[in-house]
Structure 1
Amino acid sequence: MDPARSSITFTTRHMFGLGKVNGTFDLGSASITITEPVTDSSAHAVVDADSFRTDAPRRDEHVRSEAFLDTARHPAITFESTRVDRGEAGVWTVEGLLTVRGHRAPVRLTVDSLTVEDGSLRLVASSINPWNIVEEGGGGDHTSPPHLSLPDPGGLPWASPTTT
């Protein structure tokens, strides 16, 4: 994947669930390997933690601070898949380990959509509360699922658009 042409976007809530927040992270590096069978596929991503942006500079600075991401000591957020599965009703999930602030925790991404346009892959997945591993005693409602969008404008070879 080409990090310069890829992005990670998210939507979550703040103010005890009253306000919606959209934001982005920069992708440092990533790889997606699609295999046959698809359940043996894998994904790995390294995200630049200091690139957290929501267009609210004070909030962004606070999230990057020691109180949450502590980007000075933990510059990268990583995801390493451990399992790809097609569940009941044909819904695909990617399970893996998310490492934030040096804390590693399991996370399950539900694949919401996968499209290919002009040789580019766009994957949209959601997860329930992956931010628990960075919370330290409250502050806002982080229980709504962030939506991650990982387009790959460089294109990837793979079997069919419904396999991941």
Structure 2
Amino acid sequence: MQRKRFDDMQCPIARSLDRVGEWWSILILRDAFYGLSRFDEFQKHLEIAPNILTRRLAGLVEQGLLEKVQYSERPPRYEYHLTPRGRDFRPVLLALLQWGNTHFAPEGPAVILTDIETGKQAIPMMVDANTGKPITPQTHIIAEGPAASDKVKRSIAELLERRAAAAS
């Protein structure tokens, strides 16, 4: 069965999920951030079937998140390096790390983010790069962008109406 594609939707979340919305792809990107780059390293660390890993790596290369670089001619062997687009996925991974630690680690966190300078645990949060203010539901809302279609404009207007009705 062919899965639904989201790349023709204007929603940036749907378009992003079209590129990385499959758990193996996200785990491969995580491991690339950990420094893994070779097929056998990914396979061993993830305990993933070779055919699945081959497809996921090819998809991440096709989507521009990884680049495939040959490091041996005989036999031909490749490494997979994060591209700028792939490196921009880091905040998403850190948000998932924090969310998982907060909600799905009853025994306590197994992996944490730490400040290199102080060695203390860092808690990632999203802030507005323009103002430095934390982004919260009370301070920021979703709005239509300059390229929004009529469908997106209607959808956002409906969401904002629901929000206003709920607040009153």
TM-score by length of 2: 0.21
Q: Structure 1-normalised TM-score? A: 0.22
Identify, as 1 or 2, the structure richer in helix.
2
